[in-house]
Chains A and B, each alone.
Chain A
Amino acid sequence: AQTVTQSQPEMSVQEAETVTLSCTYDTSENNYYLFWYKQPPSRQMILVIRQEAYKQQNATENRFSVNFQKAAKSFSLKISDSQLGDTAMYFCAFMKPYTGTASKLTFGTGTRLQVTL
């Protein structure tokens, strides 16, 4: 079974600064997907960024980037130039690849990020 651990329940960052959210996971799989989801207050959860385990290059999406360390089973999210709209709950998640049927997500406990002026 897979487990995902987020050790930072809450974090705060000032607008325009950079913040890094941590995530570690445990799996015996060699191929898998890792995700960061964002849930703003009272809004739907949306996918922020995805990383395929077989790709060594770290994924980036505009101000969001990841530091994927497969051997260490670490998958941190870096948010650059933080904006007030980044205030949200962030969940790290794991998924096994499609093998004839779609897979479920395994989530961490989440990190609540507050962006301040």
Chain B
Amino acid sequence: EAGVTQFPSHSVIEKGQTVTLRCDPISGHDNLYWYRRVMGKEIKFLLHFVKESKQDESGMPNNRFLAERTGGTYSTLKVQPAELEDSGVYFCASSQEKAAISYNEQFFGPGTRLTVL
């Protein structure tokens, strides 16, 4: 079974440009999460989808970030326009939705390293 995949693995853009990151979760996983790690800091939660709906977007830093999950499959995270402080590693994770158990293990993708110059 394929794991969580992310594309691209690296992206270098200039300030003011637009970048779109993509995440393909494990097939059948209804939950999809985006996290970000700025260098030397903790991994921070950005948002959580359940299927195509945004369950929690409390971690989104500002309105330059737009996440979508059309059809409840893959997700995209667009940054427009990018700023220097957006540099970091963006992780995607997915988990099953199992109401009968008390927690759902999250499986992570390899991350996209974004550098804004």
Contact = CB atoms under 8 A, between A and B. Distances in A.
Contacts of B50: 101-102
B102 interface: yes
A33 B103 contact: yes
Nearest to A9: B40
Given A46-B108, A102-B48, A107 B42 contact: yes
B70 interface: no
Interface in B1-18: 3-4
Interface stretch (A63-71, A77-85, A91-99): A91-99
Interface in B42-73: 42-45, 48, 50, 55-56, 59
Contacts of B48: 102, 104
Given A98-B101, A104-B56, A45 B42 contact: no
B33 A104 contact: yes
A44 B111 CA distance: 7
B42 A102 contact: no
Nearest to B30: A102
A101 B96 CA distance: 11
A109 B41 contact: yes
A95 B103 contact: yes
Contacts of A20: none
A13 interface: no
B91 interface: yes
B45 A102 contact: no
Contacts of B101: 98
Contacts of B40: 9, 109
A60 to B, nearest CB: 18
A4 interface: yes
Nearest to B4: A44
Interface of A: 4, 9, 33, 37, 42-47, 50, 52, 91, 93, 95, 97-98, 100-110
